[in-house]
Chains A and B, each alone.
Chain A
Amino acid sequence: MARTPGQAARRDPDWEGVRLHVVSGKGGTGKTTVAAALALALAAEGRRTLLIEVEGRQGIAELFGIAALPYEERRIATVTPAQLGLPASGSAGGSASGTPGGSVSGELHALAIDTEQALLEYLDMFYKLGRAGKALQKVGFVDFATTIAPGVRDVLLTGKACEAARRKGPDGRRTYDAVVMDAPPTGRITRFLNVNSEVAGLARIGPIHSQAQAVMRVLKSPETAVHLVTLLEEMPVQETVDGIAELREAGLPVGGVLVNMVRPPLLDAAAVAAVDGDHREEVALALGEAGLGGRSRKPETVRAAVEPLLDPLLAQAREHAERVELERARRADLQHLKLPTYELPLLGEGVDLGTLYRLAGELKRQGAA
């Protein structure tokens, strides 16, 4: 099911009908980057998406090179199909504004949720706390509340995402076409989303309890998909496989697998074996011809100059082939999951805005958005 980068033609999106995309993954797999790229991709064609961050790290601000985000939804980028390297599409059913010339620009909004403020906002909604809210804050109430029941924190975070995903404007249309949540890592994701059972044992009645149930209904509905980001390495793949089993057991809707930082195979094992064996002299000649043997015209001199390069180059090729082989095995493990799988290329030099748009285009082409 894997679609390799670049080669697949543009196709129909796989997640039509999904409003809330939850993106998780093992630490170090580039979860935040992939979540941002997905949100951008979903915003293409004149749509409006919201990217939510819940761990207070200001990862979105850093990624987009903007000042730290307050606890407030704000537009952080616009996106056109052309920016994602896609042909402009005529049928854009989105809510953002069109630009002259037929190209429709979509909007990416972002929100960094602050637990304390979310709890107070939530209490205020129910109890009209007013000044009492400040007093509660002063005595460390929020700390206390989220400490004695860690599930409460999760309910607030997921609750905010669900609310945004379902919110409607005065015109009766959804405020956002899609909401993408940069969620906690794979090891904690099921617990994080399974707020109902977390809170149920503690708060058996009361608004937190009913809030948890309402959130759970959205999370378990077909409007939600939980995607996992992985690398083609043993541990992340293993965590992905385990994480998906856990999500399924908890009855949470499993989305797709996003394979990040994929490197193109430059040489395979067969090629390396060939270089190692009969072709060694020929390769040495080729390197000499390519000008790596110095300026001498004497074949012996050139050959001798090339010699110190041969073994290191071959050793690197063997390592590369070994890695390609391991990656093949990991890819096979992922295929067993029988889930839509997307591959994003490794783009050297860290991630900047340009690479984010490239990754978003890749996701769009492969049907993730």
Chain B
Amino acid sequence: MSGRTGTTGQSGAGAGGSRLAVDELIDNPKTRIIVCCGSGGVGKTTTAAAIGLRAAERGRKVVVLTIDPARRLAQSMGLTELDNTPRIVKGVTGDGELQAMMLDMKRTFDEVVLAHADPERARAIMENPFYQSLSAGFAGTQEYMAMEKLGQLRAAEEWDLIVVDTPPSRSALDFLDAPNRLGSFLDGKVIRILTAPAKVGGRSAMKFLNAGMGLLTGTLGKIFGAQLLTDVQTFVSATDSMFGGFRERADRTYQLLQAPGTAFLVVAAPERDALREAAYFVDRLAADRMPLAGLVLNRVHGTGAPQLTAERALAAAEALEENGSEQVSPDAELLAAGLLRLHAERMQVMVRERRTRDRFVSVYPDVPIVEVAALPGDVHDLEGLRTIGERLSGSAD
């Protein structure tokens, strides 16, 4: 997480909105999956890593699945790089264990193909140009593969807690839509029309579909060139049996997310746009009947001198700058004025953050919140993640 200036204040939720008890959540052996979601740039990945580390140091066997390719995060966990296989993070204290991995969507897709088709067929699929484009760039492949990977990790039963950092999707919960999207794509009318002759083979079916077919394949062929159509048809017929399994598994993962062992954390910063996104996530999770644990509000500012308002601090700074003094050197006056201006700025930021937060709380009074005090700099090592973990749990001060 990159800090927007530090804080001297306390973390924890203020009035209104109950406090999210992170330690209770991660200590509970029934919690098996924690999903961190939120818009980009709010410290989601760092939050996931910090929660993973804290849970591991409190005795759990944890794997963190991240989507963020930032090298910095790998480095902060002492790994030279993250890849598609969970790696043990060294330097974790206590009886627990922490592993981390980064989703490689192409490789995950390849694994799925290999697991569901005999070697020869698998090779044919992987050499298909359409597959290559699909596995690398299909709108939603990343989300879908994140789901797939989560299902795999859970099924492996090697870890008792899986912490997932969701992809920074443009539309908030593409993650949840992924199984459906792939399903509707493959069940879609277009694909049915395209592949129908191959499937049915009968003359009557051909005749029935002919008009639609002609228009569609004609148009598609004109736009993309006939080559692509052939690639798609070959691909779909090669993977037909496989996709059934695919979708079933995605559906199971979706159900797993709704199950009591899962907890969603919405991550945000106390800024208007980030909280608007957070509100969207909260609504969407409720609509999908996904278990929301609460809101993590990162980068919240505090002060050790709340009694001094911004107005008084500014007035005092001006008085010092204008009037001067006989007892104090001009240098000290300017320093004191600088301190006061800084404090005024901090107080203004706090007022703004509080207002933004309160607006959220008044709409979502039932969502537990934990506020995490801002750090002046970025997290570079386990110690930094540990500090974030302490702030998350409210044991920092």
Chain A interface residues (CB < 8 Å from chain B): 26-29, 55, 57, 123, 126-127, 129, 132, 135-136, 139-141, 143-153, 184-185, 187, 191, 198, 201-209, 231, 233-236, 238, 266-267, 271, 274-275, 279, 282-283, 285-287, 289-292, 308-309, 311-317, 319-320, 322-323, 326, 348-350
- Given A202-B228, A203-B228, A205-B225, does the pair A282, B6 have CB atoms closer than 8 Å? no
Q: How far is the CA of A140 from the CA of B328 in the complex (A)?
A: 77
Q: How far is the CA of A304 from the CA of B216 in the complex (A)?
A: 84
Are A350 and B320 interface neighbours, CB within 8 A?
A: no
17 A-B residue pairs with CB within 8 Å: A27-B40, A27-B41, A129-B219, A143-B188, A147-B139, A208-B224, A208-B225, A231-B2, A233-B2, A271-B338, A282-B329, A287-B316, A289-B320, A290-B320, A291-B315, A313-B340, A323-B376
Are B304 and A286 interface neighbours, CB within 8 A?
A: no
Are A28 and B190 interface neighbours, CB within 8 A?
A: no
Residue of A nearest to B46 (CB): A235
Are B352 and A28 interface neighbours, CB within 8 A?
A: no
* Choice from B274, B319, B378 contacting A28 with Cβ under 8 Å: B274
Query: Nearest Cβ in chain B — how far from A294, in angstroms?
Result: 12
Residues of A within 8 A of B3 (CB): 233, 323
Task: Determine chain A's interface SS by DSSP, over half rule.
Answer: helix
Shortest 9 CB-CB distances between A and B: which pairs? Answer: A28-B41, A27-B40, A312-B304, A282-B332, A286-B336, A319-B6, A290-B316, A233-B2, A312-B305
Counting contact residues on chain B (CB < 8 A from A), the size range is: 35 or more
Are A28 and B39 interface neighbours, CB within 8 A?
A: yes
Q: A286-B333, A315-B304 are in contact. List 4 more A-B contacts (CB 8 A).
A: A145-B224, A311-B304, A313-B340, A317-B339
Are A28 and B338 interface neighbours, CB within 8 A?
A: no
Query: Nearest Cβ in chain B — how far from A118, in angstroms?
Result: 13
Chain B interface residues (CB < 8 Å from chain A): 2-8, 39-42, 70, 72, 129-130, 132-134, 137-139, 168, 170, 185, 188-191, 193, 212, 215-216, 219-225, 227-228, 231-232, 269, 272, 274, 303-305, 307-308, 312, 315-317, 319-320, 325, 327-329, 331-333, 335-343, 345-346, 348, 352, 376-378
Are A144 and B188 interface neighbours, CB within 8 A?
A: yes
Q: How far is the CA of A316 from the CA of B193 in the complex (A)?
A: 66
Q: How far is the CA of A160 from the CA of B201 in the complex (A)?
A: 41
Are A279 and B332 interface neighbours, CB within 8 A?
A: yes
Query: Nearest Cβ in chain A — how far from B181, in angstroms?
Result: 8
Are B225 and A27 interface neighbours, CB within 8 A?
A: no
Are A147 and B223 interface neighbours, CB within 8 A?
A: no
Residues of A within 8 A of B320 (CB): 286, 289-290
- Given A139-B193, A206-B223, does the pair A316, B343 have CB atoms closer than 8 Å? yes
Residue of B nearest to A140 (CB): B188
